């Protein structure tokens, strides 16, 4: 399989005002196309920082990230924004839906920002909401949805641009065990249906064990990959 995403010698440090805090230390990671990778580790180990760098939401202090051979952090800010919008999908622990918009409008948003015609964006959003089991909740706002339903909307939103890579940071961390299982089963099905590459941060080791590979991170260092 071809390597889709590769991190080389990633280091991330922050100036705290009382010294330098190093969160990631010489992290190297390769992920192949359509692989499912779980990232596990204790709180504060650097998992979310790594996800933000892999997703180009943050820049490393040192090191490089390559996507399909392209050195991402050598791109201009405009080109990096365009890459992120067209190629990556994100799902977070807290769904980050816009409360004043309906489920349908939330899912349409990335496509509209990308410049798609409203009719095309709406059709794509309706199809995806149907796939995640919410065809009957299109016009409900987030406050009218359960936690699991909100996360399903967030997953549909992450997929509306047909991303190659889905990055999920604790997507079940705010849900009860039964709903967590439903969301994970949904991600597995969408991974197959959409031929996604999936990188998921999780505290749930049972869910992690069902991925293709588990990466352990401790104190900013990768222990296995």
Hey, what domains does the chain have and what are their CATH numbers?
3-224 (3.40.50.300)
Q: Which residue has the tokens 């900013």?
A: 220
Question: Taking all residues of the chain, what is their mean pLDDT, rounded to a whole number?
Answer: 87
**Phi and psi angles of residue 33, each rounded to the nearest 5 degrees, phi first:** -60, 130
Tell me the three state secondary structure of residue 188.
Answer: helix
Is the pLDDT confidence value at 85 over 60?
A: yes
* Mean pLDDT in residue range 143-160: 89
Q: What pLDDT sits at residue 86?
A: 85
Contacts 24+ apart (CB under 8 A), 219-223: 219/25, 219/45, 219/46, 220/12, 220/22, 220/23, 220/24, 220/25, 220/27, 220/45, 220/46, 221/25, 221/26, 221/27, 222/27, 222/28, 222/29
Between CA 174 and CA 31 the distance in angstroms is: 27
Strands across the sheet containing 62-67? 20-32, 3-15, 62-67, 70-71
pTM for the whole structure: 0.85
Q: Is the four-CA dihedral 112, 74, 169, 171 of positive or negative sign?
A: positive
* Mean pLDDT in residue range 164-192: 81
Q: What pLDDT sits at residue 221?
A: 84
């Amino acid at each position: 399989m071809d390597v889709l995403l590769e991190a080389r010698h990633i280091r991330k440090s922050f100036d705290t005002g009382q010294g330098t805090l190093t969160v990631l230390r010489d992290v190297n990671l390769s992920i192949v196309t359509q692989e499912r990778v779980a990232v596990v580790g204790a709180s504060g180990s650097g998992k979310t920082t790594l996800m933000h760098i892999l997703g180009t939401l943050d820049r490393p202090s040192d090191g490089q990230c390559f996507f399909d051979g392209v050195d991402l952090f050598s791109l201009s800010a405009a080109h990096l924004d365009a890459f992120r919008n067209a190629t990556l999908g994100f799902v977070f622990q807290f769904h980050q839906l816009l409360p004043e918009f309906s489920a349908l409008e939330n899912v349409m948003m990335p496509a509209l920002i990308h410049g798609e015609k409203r009719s095309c964006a709406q059709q794509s959003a309706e199809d995806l909401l149907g796939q995640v089991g919410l065809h009957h909740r299109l016009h409900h706002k987030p406050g009218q949805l359960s936690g699991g339903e909100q996360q399903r909307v967030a997953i549909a939103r992450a997929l509306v641009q047909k991303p190659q890579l889905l990055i999920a940071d604790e997507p079940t961390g705010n849900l009860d065990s039964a709903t967590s299982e439903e969301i994970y089963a949904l991600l597995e099905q969408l991974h197959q249906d959409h031929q996604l590459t999936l990188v998921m941060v999780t505290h749930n080791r049972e869910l992690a064990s069902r991925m293709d590979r588990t990466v352990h991170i401790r104190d900013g260092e990768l222990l296995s990959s």
